[in-house]
Structure 1
């Protein structure tokens, strides 16, 4: 790993913690940034970088179709929910899951079939928590 990439990873980790802190305190971004002496633009830049890194990390690099599907969470509540389905575990037949965890939020639904890898679920929930 190059030094620049290692530095970026450290910055992403630090900003992930800062973003979590801001959310946990429940303060508006501008007030929190002012209190911490951080530029608001810098906060939003790194928030975008953290989100993109999380999205990239849950996308499958091996191209087997196990990728995160972008879902519009701003759809109207009375519309039918949009769905994102986490692929079945590797080696499993692509049949509709009987046991599935459904996460519905603002007209969007994420379905995670039973038997999905804990690492995949963890990464998705972490990404969703930063988006909400």
Structure 2
């Protein structure tokens, strides 16, 4: 059995190797098929690593974002003036704003609230 640290090192080396390949292919302007044929790489293998790297990158971005969020407790801000009938309601969370009007679909609003709740969990 290979020691864990050797396995981790091998995985890091493969990840770096394929990151370089994916970047080079992108910068080359060639299609995936052209690049793979030119460099003797199987397309299936290329797409496997491209997918794997994208998933790792997305996971890393989510974790970094979660680390920057320090407090998710809602803060009520007093209104400068009362809301008139027909005026939209705006909810702001960080740099995102949700605007709800009389014509907002109940389904869209429900799905949006479910996503926000899942993010909080």
**Structure 1 residue 8: deviation in Å?**
0.9
Distance between the aligned counterparts of 1:42 and 1:5, measured in 2?
20
Determine the C-alpha separation between the residues in 2 that align with 1:97 and 1:3: 44
The answer for unaligned runs of 5 or more in structure 1 is 68-86, 102-132
More relative contact order in 1 or in 2 (CA 8 Å, sep 6+)?
Answer: 1
Residue 89 (structure 1) aligned with residue 69 (structure 2): yes
1:34 alignment counterpart = 37
Q: Who wins on radius of gyration, i.e. which is larger?
A: 2
Between Structure 1 and Structure 2, how many residues are aligned? 78
Q: Which one has the bigger helix percentage?
A: 2
Report the secondary structure of 1:6's partner residue.
Answer: helix
Partner of 1:13: 16
Shift of 1:51: 1.0
Calculate the aligned-residue CA RMSD, in Å.
Answer: 3.1
Q: Does the 8 Å contact 1:33/1:40 carry over to 2?
A: yes
Q: CA deviation at 1:92?
A: 7.0
- Alignment-derived partner of residue 46 in structure 1: 49
Residues 73-120 of structure 1, C-alpha deviation per residue, up to 9 Å, x if partnerless?
Answer: xxxxxxxxxxxxxx973247556257x49xxxxxxxxxxxxxxxxxxx
